[in-house]
Amino acid sequence: MVDQNGERGSDVVSQEWLAQAPKVSDALKKGMVVTVATWSGWEITGVVCDREQAGLLLDVRESEGYSFLPWTSIEQVRIREVTQRRVKFLPS
């Protein structure tokens, strides 16, 4: 990529950003607070209890229960903050 001044410096920045970007498995792991928008127009906020091939299970605090959402009903999942996995580099 070339910036406005014609310099190639943003490739390194974008590669660093990509290396630090969260993974889906981290974003939807047990205990994460998410807001799910469904194709029917509902927005459901809850804590991820489980996820599998069929869908997402949330603990929905406001209804004092659990909600299972099949992946086919989910339009978008918003995650407030993703905690990165800690990686330990071993000396060579």
pLDDT tens, N- to C-terminus, the chain (92 residues): 444 555 555 666 777 777 777 788 888 899 999 999 999 999 999 999 999 999 999 999 877 789 999 999 999 999 887 666 555 566 76
2.30.30.100, 3.30.470.10, 3.40.50.11290, 3.40.50.150: CATH of 23-79: 2.30.30.100
Angstrom distance (rounded) from CA 19 to CA 31: 24
Residue 72 to residues 2, 44, 55, 56: CA-CA distances in angstroms? 40, 15, 8, 11
Give residues with Cβ within 8 angstroms of 71, minimum separation 6. 54, 55, 56
Angstrom distance (rounded) from CA 35 to CA 38: 10
| Predicted local confidence at residue 83, as pLDDT | 63
Angstrom distance (rounded) from CA 92 to CA 74: 44
Contact 61, 48 (CB under 8 A): no
pTM for this model (two decimals) = 0.67
Delimit the domains of the chain by residue range: 23-79
